[in-house]
Amino acid sequence: MNQMRVRRIAILTCLLLVCGSTDAFAQVVGAVSKVQKQANIGSIQAEVGTPVSMNQEVRTGPGARLQITFRDETVLTLGENATVVVDRFVYNPASSTGVLALNATQGAFRFATGKLGGMSNKDVTVTTPQAALAVRGTEFWAGFVPGEYQYGVLLLSGKVDVANSVGSVSLANPGEGTDIPPPVKIDYPPSDPYVWPPDKVARALATTEFGLALGPANLLPAAILIPFFAQDDDNDRPRPASP
């Protein structure tokens, strides 16, 4: 009887250890809230509602878009051919503590903090091959702007610090961005913050927008589109009857 009891205790202990380690490894941090074309959460094809856990590789394919909403309502939107892993996520409203660490190794993304941004004790970071981004209650875009060879970070609200091994800058005004040339013979620091021109902002944000995925070569200039739509509007208006 004693031997059987010892065996049961040993089995129960092993199960608790296994389950505990599995929960720690596969902690669910959010879920897919929107998807376009092919995307995967780990080995599973992404659909609306697919859970996202820590340490899972999130990937998008050609022309794809994927939006993840975290438990605190932080929103991460990926463009095509992107890869991201959630390294750490802590959301504790009781102690006003929040931690989010992302590793974005490929592709463009847009990031907007949720309730983590308002917490007293927060640490929100995004690591990319070009720079580390320290987020402070912020919405921003990062990636390669179509038609350019530089990596860019564009601030939409809040504040974000952009740093690599040779320099750092702070983006504090919406519309400001920084560029990081790819290393050839030397590493380059982030450029001084400057206001991105409207056409550059549009090209950047288009990489993470849902809908018809068009490349820069497929986009007609606004100078052509505006008169075209204005002409359509004129045709739709009722015209006065001829006397």
All structural domains of the chain: 73-231 (2.60.120)
CB 31 within 8 A of CB 52: yes
Q: How far is CA 190 from the centre of its chain?
A: 20
User: What are the beta bridge partners of residue 121?
Assistant: 97
The values of phi and psi at residue 191, to 5°, are -70, 165
User: What are the beta bridge partners of residue 97?
Assistant: 92, 121
CB 25 within 8 A of CB 48: no
The two structure tokens encoding residue 198:
């409207």
Cα-Cα-Cα-Cα dihedral sign, residues 135, 137, 143, 149: negative
Tokens 């564009």 belong to residue: 154
Q: pLDDT per position in the chain (243 positions), as tens?
A: 455 444 444 433 333 333 333 333 469 999 999 999 999 999 999 999 999 999 999 999 999 999 999 999 999 999 999 999 999 999 999 999 999 999 999 999 999 999 998 898 999 999 999 999 999 889 999 999 999 989 999 999 999 999 999 999 999 999 999 999 987 778 899 999 999 999 999 999 999 999 854 443 333 333 323 332 333 444 443 444 444
- What is the reported pLDDT for 212? 55
Q: How many residues does the chain have?
A: 243
Cα-Cα-Cα-Cα dihedral sign, residues 167, 105, 80, 32: negative
- What is the reported pLDDT for 228? 27
- What is the reported pLDDT for 136? 87
